[in-house]
Structure 1
């Protein structure tokens, strides 16, 4: 008897069907219908593969016919059957080698009452998915329903989810419940969860909820990011208004903290509670910049940061050179870099006087703070807290150059003179701005004279 491929699981034992037969005296007796029991079986199921595998399963016609359309058709009087030893019916089932075990498991499941009381038969998503394919192919509605119910209810790993997406859509309406969690969500639901997450992400929850808040911020940014797929949310005016209101509330809280520190003692920034609160606000504002940039509504943020810059720098300069205070300075530079980028590349247009003022406030602060951060990063055990991406420093330097080169030449000369006279001229390196200024200044008279000559010639005509 060739049944090596059949693995009896503990779920199957004790749940086989029974059949009734008469003994020699004509008395009815119940006997168990056990798959593989040649003495009671009346159907031989032969599983065959293209690779030449040929295994036999001894089965019972009433069980196969009742639960499987394929066997019901093959064992009906309208279908010619092949007679073998002791007049057993023989039914061939062709399958691929990789699906062989799933066919064996399905035939075994035909012997089990597949209902809500036996939910532990599937042994994982992949096994259930394989059985489901065979059940659909052979027409086993009970098993299809049970597989669908199982797959719809359990969690999936990413690889399993990809496999489901390849297989299930071809199965039609009967398998649709499995795909319910993968269907696109309507825009209204997306907006609702976005707004709720946004309000939480700009709030000030207890410290033990900071990880939840950071996660919410990450997912909000992801929802608005265009990568291989389009953004999950297309922001309309209402969404933008909600974002502005949430950021304004965050600004208001930050401003209260800033005012308290500005009006306090010179050591007010060194207080542990003040440090943590101020750092939290700066971190949130840095994140808010990312959201506002994606929605192209950075202007109000830039204007606010410009108005508060003098006060922010004075507060930061009050603090001692402890690691915590230096980290706060770093967070302030992160926000400033995003504000300056919006100004330097024309995302937000400011008058000349304001652009020059923002340089005069932040250029000296960044110039002095970076060596301090570098020194602490090299010597401090908490160096990772102060690590700023090298690309950020490079981008900030390029932004300074862009803002300088957009100023009138006289203002450029003022900024460059101060840079050349400063001991911290290594960063930011304004050499590019100096070179462009020299070139422009040298050719300015010639260019203007050519323009004047051209204008004169035009007027003569």
Structure 2
């Protein structure tokens, strides 16, 4: 090989530079000598010269591959040693059981378990025990049993030698349930699989009883369901084990009634902290169920709108009572909390409707609440501002395209509730940290711009006057105003018949 080619390969990392590292050959490793306690070991060799030390700052590709293979070999060796230690423990336990049951006599079967990688574990066992406990061994040993003659049985291609050996040990155990206490779910599933393969009925029953009684983690739950669905165990208690994760068909049919009770319980909760926690939990669960195509546990549209009407009725009664609160019959703080609570409940249900894409009808329902809007205008802002969050919530959803309703419903909504939103906006964004001012303004702007040009004019000229008088306490929808201006005066589409006869009028706003 030319010196130039060698130099190039050294630079690329395929050959170590002989001036920087010592040559290494795995076949030339030497074993350490043994010394008696009386003799002293030889002094350690001097450290290599600086120039002959391997350079670890920039290891070559060969060195990195060697280190990786060495680490992999050490890991495999450690795993094999752990398995050997556990197998040795089981064999010791097997001998103890054999001595305890002295009536069994000497072993007459040499059972060898062989793994896929060739690992062999021989065991001296009793054909009588195997035949009594396992229908697989009973069938196979009975065909070749001769009095006074020992037999050799080999089980090949085992996935896990350790589990097979432990299953044989279980055949000698008197109290299998006690023996399984403390084992992991994964281990018991493996024992169950081997027990089923050799038709060890007592082992199958004990493993199923263990799985039925012990708690599972989420990962373990998936493993249990997967294993039991693959095993064919006729006449055994598999359904009982799976009862904690499966239900009768009637349960899914009653899901809507269950959810109605759950949602109603949250709406009527007395502890506000617990109510907020359960709202968050149920919303998250319903959202997850909506993403699962196989989920049958869902809430119906009728149930959600039933709750909407209930919340609207409670809200109407609270506002009616708030108008006459000068009578002193109710504490103002208590009444204020009730109004905020009912408004928050209604907003939560509307959130679920939007998430489920069922909120179209609610836009019209909310737009038709003119009596409620009239009551709203007659009580102090400090009591009512939470109600305007519902209007903001709908405008955000419509601005995102998550609610699709006709123009009539959109204009009816802003006609009924937009003035209230203007009045409450300052209080609303200061009282609720969750209210995003920019998000509300963007949703409101986009909703207004979906209206007809004439309706845009009416709404935006009204906003123009209010914004000049209230400033930051009014939503800033200048972007919508600019788009309307451009549509009305700059980019006029002459091919569209305009029968609205636009007239710009500025209404006065009294502070």
Q: Normalising by structure 2, what TM-score?
A: 0.65
How far does the alpha carbon of each residue in 1:338-390 deviate from its partner, in whole angstroms, 9 at most, with x for none? 333466654374274652342222123214542x34xxxxxxxxxxxx43164
How far does the alpha carbon of each residue in 1:126-152 deviate from its partner, in whole angstroms, 9 at most, with x for none? 121010111112221221222223323
> In the alignment, which residue of structure 2 is the partner of 1:436?
483
> In the alignment, which residue of structure 1 is the partner of 2:106?
40
Whole-Å separation in 2 of the counterparts to 1:95 and 1:74: 18
Q: Secondary structure at the match of 1:202?
A: helix
Worse-matched range after superposition: 87-96 or 158-167: 87-96
> In the alignment, which residue of structure 2 is the partner of 1:456?
none
Larger radius of gyration: 2
> In the alignment, which residue of structure 1 is the partner of 2:125?
59
Matched, 1:143 2:203: yes
Contact 1:106–1:135 (CA<8 Å) still a contact in 2?
yes
> In the alignment, which residue of structure 1 is the partner of 2:422?
363
Number of residues paired by the alignment?
A: 399
Distance of aligned partners of 1:346 and 1:216 in 2 relative to their CA distance in 1, 3 Å threshold: closer
How far apart are residue 125 of structure 1 and its match? Answer: 1.6
**After TM superposition, where is structure 1 displaced by more than 6 Å over at least 4 residues in a row?**
11-18, 266-270
How far does the alpha carbon of each residue in 1:393-418 deviate from its partner, in whole angstroms, 9 at most, with x for none? 44422221133221524304413422
Matched, 1:298 2:362: yes
> In the alignment, which residue of structure 1 is the partner of 2:154?
92
Matches within 5 A, 1:438-457: 438-443=485-490, 447-448=493-494, 450-451=495-496
> In the alignment, which residue of structure 1 is the partner of 2:260?
198
> In the alignment, which residue of structure 2 is the partner of 1:396?
440
Distance of aligned partners of 1:364 and 1:165 in 2 relative to their CA distance in 1, 3 Å threshold: same
Whole-Å separation in 2 of the counterparts to 1:343 and 1:418: 25
Whole-Å separation in 1 of the counterparts to 2:145 and 2:417: 89
> In the alignment, which residue of structure 1 is the partner of 2:405?
347
Matches within 5 A, 1:4-403: 5-7=87-89, 31=102, 40-78=106-144, 88-96=150-158, 99-113=160-174, 118=178, 120-121=180-181, 123-174=183-234, 176-177=238-239, 178-183=241-246, 186=249, 188-203=250-265, 205=268, 207-208=270-271, 211=274, 215=278, 218-219=281-282, 222-223=285-286, 225-233=289-297, 239-265=300-326, 271-293=332-354, 294=356, 295-296=358-359, 297-299=361-363, 301-303=365-367, 307-312=371-376, 314-315=378-379, 317-318=381-382, 329=385, 331-341=386-396, 345-347=403-405, 349-350=408-409, 352=411, 355-367=414-426, 369-370=428-429, 372-373=430-431, 386-388=432-434, 390=436, 393-403=437-447
Contact 1:221–1:290 (CA<8 Å) still a contact in 2?
no
Contact 1:44–1:88 (CA<8 Å) still a contact in 2?
yes
Whole-Å separation in 2 of the counterparts to 1:365 and 1:151: 58
Distance of aligned partners of 1:74 and 1:231 in 2 relative to their CA distance in 1, 3 Å threshold: closer
How far does the alpha carbon of each residue in 1:166-203 deviate from its partner, in whole angstroms, 9 at most, with x for none? 332221244742444444753x4234243233234225
Worse-matched range after superposition: 305-314 or 60-69: 305-314
How far does the alpha carbon of each residue in 1:278-310 deviate from its partner, in whole angstroms, 9 at most, with x for none? 333222111111333424442464246554234
Distance of aligned partners of 1:149 and 1:214 in 2 relative to their CA distance in 1, 3 Å threshold: same
Q: Secondary structure at the match of 1:91?
A: strand
Whole-Å separation in 1 of the counterparts to 2:313 and 2:94: 66
How far does the alpha carbon of each residue in 1:238-276 deviate from its partner, in whole angstroms, 9 at most, with x for none? x54444333322322232222222321499998443344
Q: Secondary structure at the match of 1:414?
A: helix
Whole-Å separation in 2 of the counterparts to 1:48 and 1:431: 79
Gaps of 5+ in 2: 1-83, 499-511
Worse-matched range after superposition: 267-276 or 70-79: 267-276
Whole-Å separation in 2 of the counterparts to 1:420 and 1:220: 36
Contact 1:340–1:399 (CA<8 Å) still a contact in 2?
yes
Task: Calculate the aligned-residue CA RMSD, in Å.
Answer: 4.2
Gaps of 5+ in 1: 20-30, 34-38, 81-85, 320-327, 374-385, 454-461
Contact 2:381–2:427 (CA<8 Å) still a contact in 1?
no
Contact 2:467–2:474 (CA<8 Å) still a contact in 1?
no
How far apart are residue 216 of structure 1 and its match? Answer: 7.1
Whole-Å separation in 2 of the counterparts to 1:267 and 1:366: 28
Whole-Å separation in 2 of the counterparts to 1:68 and 1:194: 48
Q: Secondary structure at the match of 2:163?
A: helix
Contact 2:129–2:171 (CA<8 Å) still a contact in 1?
yes
Q: Secondary structure at the match of 2:121?
A: strand
Whole-Å separation in 2 of the counterparts to 1:431 and 1:68: 83
Distance of aligned partners of 1:418 and 1:231 in 2 relative to their CA distance in 1, 3 Å threshold: farther
Whole-Å separation in 1 of the counterparts to 2:94 and 2:332: 67
